[in-house]
Structure 1
Amino acid sequence: MANLVIASNSKGMSKLDGSVKNKVYDFFEKLNADDTSPKLHIEPMKKAVDPRVRTGRVDLYWRAILFRVDDKSGGTTYIYMGTWPHDDAIKLAERATLRVNPINGTLEGLIGEPPEVAADDSPPPTVATTEPEVSYLAGFGYSYADLAEGLGIDPALAERAMVAPDESALLEVAANGLEWEGSALLDLATGISIDTIRDKHGFTETPVDTTRDDDQQIIEALDRPASKMQFAFIEDDEELRRVIEGGDFAAWRTFLHPEQRKYVESDYGGAFRLSGGAGTGKTVVAIHRARRLARDNPGARIILTTFNATLAQGLKADLVALDPAVRVADKPGDVGVYVGGIDALGRAVLERARDVVAEAGERVLGSGATEFSARRTSGDTVWREVAQGVDSGLDPKLATPAFLESEYVAVVLANRITTLEQYAKVARPGRGVRLSRPARIAVWKLVEAFRRQSQMDETLSFPEVLALAAEALRIKTERGGTFLSDHVLVDEAQDLHAAHWALLRALVSEGANDLFIAEDSHQRIYGSPVILSRFGIKIVGRSRRLTLNYRTTAQNLHFAVSVLAGAEYTDLEQGEETTGEYRSARNGPAPELIPCVDIAEELDVVAAKVKQWLADDAVEPESIAVLTRSQDERDRIVRGLGERGVTARALDKSAPTPGQPLVLTMHRAKGMEFSRVVLAGADDKHVPSPATLRSVPEEERSEAMLRERSLLYVASSRARDALVVTWSGKKSELLGE
């Protein structure tokens, strides 16, 4: 039985229609069963540059190009490079090469372009043909020798990179290199050291064992991290069919950047934090890591959770798409991977711990705690009624649902406070508003009223459910019970509050690979910052950052990052967060910023732009999104578009409907991506939200403004290709100059 490896740059595959892809799959099945079958017509090339190259008959018109590698210990391996029409395949195969890079040990498969494309060898228009006084990379202090001899980049590509006058031109050069070469050039664009780039890509000082024959060296090189950016072993027929039917051989399901793969495969002595900007692949790493842990230990109990149910549904779908054979657990604590939103996780934990819920309630909520059978509620309505109905003496600026809820979660529930005496003494680090003793007494009156009202209504707020679940788990482990999980992985962790972290810590014992945390402090649009060490989660020395954006073009990324300019962000240990090394792997059009006289003109502009995109047959309607700051604005946009002949759907909690552009709030767009995006209503009346800022005390206004910036950053970074920003009247101050 032959081994099959597929190259990510199989350029002859994505253009094939479904019937041909099915024939390619049949060809692979026969190849896997018996590569000596004469029906396959796997033939060497008389004029080939590389003696390993073969072509195989897919049908009378189509031929596959492969390299045959014979390893004495592992048998025959075929490396598939793509499928082309017969005559093109023969010409391409004759000059195709497979080699191990002598400098960095990476396997390189060079197939070139189809003859009609290869004939046009003119340089990209944005790349300088003569070297400027100081080129872009030379400005960082790099030389041709750094690229060609230090990293092993192809000499011709290195020459073109060294004369690129700016970052955009360098991106054009990077797009024409092998996967690892493009990645290394993007790293160079940030000015980091050659040694750092070598480390990130897994290059070694002794890249290949030259005592082995050429075929053995190739098999060895296949296992190098940078090689896995281009080549992937296909383990079974089901995986093969998924890759072929997907039509994208560079899909995240199969190919990872060496840096991403390192965080998937590494073991850590405790909790680990992976941060990174929007589109850098943190979620991809978390999903691959969950699968890896499940494969390493089929009996492991793994929890993969995130901020809400919508995002969790996406995680589960992607996990199953990555590996349909992965065991998905129905409940936390079962063998397999349980995937769910963190609030649902808290409820499920309480369901398993019903026998100690009453005791947990006594510890967390005080005497007369509500039973688990109570209904769950957001708590906002109760806080509003309490603030209006109880004469507490608290400053009216603080007697708001927003402040009281955050104080209750971050201080009262986080510290399991049940009495005024405890509350009067507890430290409140990270809280923007300082409270005198009289103010604390006033707050406690409202807390007691809130708890009494909840008891009468037989309700529990969502944070109370989480706090009870965490305490129930503590009680069980105190009495010798086992922890509910072996590994916990958390995505979108920047938006979790204190009760969430208390639950996560209680789910798994402190130890190897206990908690894997994926987050981006720049995308925190809910709640207040937390410090993980206060919850017994220690990540000092075990924290890394991804910087390469795979989703957004360089132009759109620059705009999104500019929204954050001038603001100071901190991570989950209060360390400074920076966007200095963020970069994109793709070029594209500059974002369009369109001022409008009034709302009617803005609606005309948005409708015209959506119609223009819909006229492009290559653009799927559901890949077009209009994002707004509020639900009222969302609904107004939907009506306005309808009046102008554009049928669009307002998206709330439901899944997108194929065939229609979408209109949704910036909050709802979290975790999603679209080909083309309009940010509508980016004026000073909507962004930042005046209503949101009015609801917070003056001392917390700066924190609220950070969340508003983060929200606009999240919205801006949803666009893969085109981004349009519109406003009527005065534009938002967050858009900058």
Structure 2
Amino acid sequence: MPRLAFDIAFCAQLGKLQGSVKQGVFDAWEKFQDLTLEQLFKDPGLKLESLKRARDPHIRTIRIDQGTRGVVLAPESGDTYVLLRVMPHDKAIAWAVKQKASINTVTQAVEIRDIAMLDELTPAYERIAPAREERLFAKFSDGDLSALGVDGTTLRQARVLTTPEQLEVFAPFFPQDQREVLEYLAAGFTVEDVWRDVVAVNLADRTAEPVDTTDYETAIQRSRTRIALVSASDELRDILDKPFAAWRVFLHPSQQKVAYRASYSGPAQVTGGPGTGKTVVALHRVRHLLRHLRDGDRILLTTYTNALVAALRSGLADLVEDETLRDRVDIMTVDAFAGRVVSTSRRPLRGDEEQGRWEQAAHATGFTGTAQFLAQEYKHVILAQNLRTCEEYEAAERKGRGSALPVRVRPLLWRTVEEFTGRLAADGLRTYLGTCAEAADLLDGSGPRYRHIVVDEAQDLHPAQWRLLRAAAPGRPDDLFIAGDPHQRIYDTKVSLKTIGIKVTGRSTKMRKNYRSTHEILSWSTALLHGRPFEELADDSRHETLLGYRSALHGQGPETYAAQSQSAELDALVTRVRSWLDSGIPSADIGVSARFNKTCEQAAEALTAAGVPAVRLRGDTEVAADAVNIGTMHAFKGLEYRCVAVIGVHDGALPFPKAVTPADVDRLQHETDLLAERCLLFVACTRARDGLYVSWSGRPSRFLLEAVL
């Protein structure tokens, strides 16, 4: 019996499709389930039509609803058809006639390329190309490229390219796997690197037999990372109604390999930039571990903030439908876990109380340094190194601190810290990190609580929090699974996992492909961080880079707006949001982010006054389903929207002077704080999938001036 499968490019459209179109897709799928091929071709409602002037007779169209058509791969043999795109009628025809399907002789998978556009571009670029030895892929032989899956057609087209910028022009029209190979090579990776990281991961279940380039039925079966075969109506409804459900069937082979590896011999780590799927991989890893969990064992899924906890809880519910299984996973922040272990009634110290408490302690001991210096010394030296005595503190290195502290002064500072912590205890107060340190001590005595721990957004955790997690799971295979990205470190915490006893050597994977933001948004946002050093999570003596970090999607570039006043900036925001809504984007797919709560409140008031539903995101508030979501840049961490407006990006907001340690107090901390502020803007901008709008009033942030303006 025939069936209709779904290409990953169609699934990428799901968030943009109207309800009537989704219903039309479902109805078409049902016809493929119920009718014979002969009946399908005769069905007047489906209209499975061949196309005049088509570059490939295997590409046809079907009717989805009034005015909308689907483009399908319709092989001559086999029963499986693949829905590639859904578009308005005329656009669908125009796109379909330019496409060509083929089967890659290396990956053995189905490929689709815009052959008409490539044929049009190639001669034009050939005419302006320099000598062959000066072109982009000159140092790679035809044999090397062929071994990586680049076929003869793509090879001829790639040979005319001179710069990475020209490759960007061609990239949207190349077959996906071949495009990825070329992008890696252009980014500076070796043939061996590309074989290992891009090609070999696709070949795990491939045969060594010669490839039949006409056997699409077999090739479709071998394209599971890009083509979904849906067998039940409930499954299809789930995919159409919940875009996450669509993407969960499309783990890239490199992601699948990490998430579903049978076992790791110890802690494992996955890193990568925004949108590379780290959180999805972490959720899939939880799913895998649940399938092999023994009676009585539990899993801790943890992260840094309550908002991220809510997102993880929702994602796991989508991925693991069995509620009994999900109940064996505790999802909470590390700080919440520490509070559960300690079981104390002492109230956590608020951020606005801390300075006064340090000033009181300094006054009591006669220490003349600033409260800011004391707080940072306590956090970055004493708690970070788990120093328990004055003698240990006197002998300790102060790595990462850019201010001198004579040894003779250290006993006085230690007494000031004891005064600070003693007064907190007497007043029924505690710090979050102090609670983590106390909880780690308790677990060292009582034993672990969890069989497995999965950590998301790992880059923002403090060494005291890591020691707690290390104590919470026994040191054995599959104890810790860690996902993070140093480029999204928005708090002033640094850690070397190996110094905590968490060694991931040989069990670390880097994701480089962004599945969220368009190439244009990604390139613009990445420029904010260009040239800045980022220490690896596993080893602070080595630096993480964005080499090879790229997007799978293409679209419009970011829009910037310089307003004369704050009120004019808010008026422009309303206009921009209205234009997104008028284009058919649901309000819940729009996010507005700013550095400060006050700016968020003003944005919410302006949108509400204009009749646009808007809600504030606070703490563990879940994303609103029927309103524009407004939140600080910190609150937006881990979230994503089709369109994002980042407002108030003016001088004095980013960097925010109060968040940056003065250089004369601590030079190294000053640089760390500046980088955290820069990362904060990077994180906010990379929440956007299709549209990014950045605005300011007065003078723009120096980050924008230095990088993208």
Which TM-score bucket, shorter chain as reference?
A: 0.7 to 0.9
- 1:173 paired with 2:155, answer no
- d(CA) in 2 for partners of 1:213 and 1:125? 28
What pairs up with 1:482-631 in 2 under 5 angstroms?
483-572=448-537, 573-574=539-540, 575-614=542-581, 616-631=582-597
CA distance in 1, matches of 2:81, 2:367: 71
- Find the residue that maps to 1:706 and give its secondary structure: helix
Distance 1:588 1:54 in 2: 25
- Residue 278 of structure 1, aligned match among 260, 274, 285: 274
Task: Say if 2:361 and 2:420, in contact at 8 Å, map to a contact too.
Answer: no
Mapped partners of 1:175, 1:58: distance in 2: 25
Which residue of structure 1 aligns with residue 8 of structure 2?
8
For 2:310, which of 295, 310, 313 is the aligned residue? 313
What is aligned with 1:192? 189
Partner of 2:334: 342
Change (3 A) 1:213 1:22: closer
Q: 1:685 to 1:247 in 2, by over 3 A?
A: closer
2:430 is paired with a residue whose SS is strand
C-alpha separation in 2, matches of 1:662 and 1:184:
38
- Superposed counterparts of 1:11-50, under 5 Å: 17-24=21-28, 26-27=30-31
% same residue: 29
Within a 5 Å distance, the mapping from 1:99-248 to structure 2 comes to 101-102=104-105, 104-108=106-110, 123=120, 128=125, 130=127, 132-133=129-130, 138-141=135-138, 145=142, 149-164=146-161, 167=164, 169-203=166-200, 208-210=207-209, 222=221, 227-234=223-230, 238-246=234-242
Amino acid in the other structure paired with 2:332? G
Residue 296 and residue 234 in structure 1: after superposition, are their counterparts in 2 closer, same or farther (change >3 A)? farther
Contact 1:305 1:312 survives alignment (8 Å): yes
Q: Which residue of 1 aligns with 2:443?
A: 473
Shift of 1:94: 14
Of 705-714 and 432-441, the range deviating more from structure 2: 432-441
Q: Aligned equivalents of 1:96 and 1:379: distance in 2? A: 58
Aligned to 1:73: none
Contact 1:53 1:66 in 2 (8 A): yes
How many residue pairs match? The answer is: 683
Aligned amino acid, residue 609 of structure 1? R
Superposition TM-score, scaled by structure 1 size: 0.78
Distance 1:7 1:443, change over 3 A: same
- Give, in whole Å, the separation in 1 of the partners of 2:219 and 2:590: 44
Q: Which amino acid aligns with 2:635?
A: R
Q: CA deviation at 1:265?
A: 2.7
- C-alpha distance in 2 between matches for 1:205 and 1:295: 22
Distance (whole Å) between structure 2 residues aligned to residue 564 and residue 380 of structure 1: 30
Counterpart amino acid of 1:636?
Q
The secondary structure found in structure 2 opposite 1:549 is strand
Could you tell me how far 1:438 is from its partner in structure 2? Answer: 4.2
Aligned amino acid, residue 341 of structure 1: T
Structure 2 CA distance for partners of 1:624 and 1:169, relative to 1, 3 Å: farther
In structure 2, the residue matched to 1:360 is: none
Measured after TM superposition, the shift of residue 10 of structure 1 is 5.4
Q: Render the CA deviation track for 1:288-334: whole Å, top value 9, x for unaligned.
A: 2221222344655322211112112111211221232375544xxxx
User: Separation in 2 of the partners of 1:691 and 1:54?
Assistant: 60
- Helix, strand or coil: the match of 2:660? helix
- Contact in 1 for aligned 2:534/2:545 (Cα 8 Å): yes
Shift of 1:734: 1.7
Comparing 536-545 with 413-422, greater Cα deviation is found at 413-422
Question: Equivalent residue for 1:259?
Answer: 254
Cα offsets for 1:561-620 (capped at 9, x unmatched): 221234322112111122232222233333334334443443344343333333x32322
The residue aligned with 1:367 is none
Q: Which moved more, 1:455-464 or 1:663-672?
A: 455-464
**Alpha-carbon shift at residue 244 of structure 1 (Å):** 4.3
The equivalent of 2:648 in structure 1 is 681
Q: Is the 8 A contact 1:105 1:221 kept in 2?
A: no
TM-score (norm 2): 0.81
CA contact (8 A) 1:379 1:462 kept: no
8 Å contact kept, 1:54–1:68: no
Within the candidate set 657, 675, 690, 1:721 is matched to 690
Instruction: Compute the displacement of 1:169 (Å).
Output: 4.9
Ranges in structure 1 where 5+ consecutive residues have no aligned partner = 71-76, 331-335, 351-356, 358-370, 478-482
CA–CA distance in 2 between the matches of 1:589 and 1:582? 19
Tell me what 2:353 maps to. Answer: 381
Which is further off, 142-151 or 47-56? 47-56
Of 139-148 and 679-688, the range deviating more from structure 2: 139-148
User: Distance in 2 between the 1:281 and 1:313 partners?
Assistant: 17
Unaligned runs of 5+ in 2: none
In 1, the alpha carbon distance for the partners of 2:58 and 2:571 equals: 60
Distance 2:103 2:116 in 1: 27
For the residues of structure 2 that align with 1:282 and 1:634, how far apart are their CA atoms? 28
- Whether the 8 Å CA contact 1:157–1:177 is kept in 2: the answer is yes
Q: 2:288 maps to which residue?
A: 292
Deviation at 1:243, TM superposition (A): 2.4
Amino acid of the structure 2 residue aligned with 1:565: H
Residue 707 of structure 2 is aligned to residue 707 of structure 1: no
In 2: Cα distance, 1:712 partner to 1:474 partner: 39
The reply on whether 1:444 has 2:414 as its aligned counterpart is yes
Q: Which residue of 1 aligns with 2:300?
A: 303
CA contact (8 A) 2:587 2:613 kept: no
CA contact (8 A) 1:626 1:678 kept: yes
Stretch of structure 1 that moved more, 540-549 or 430-439: 430-439
Shift of the alpha carbon at 1:62?
A: 10
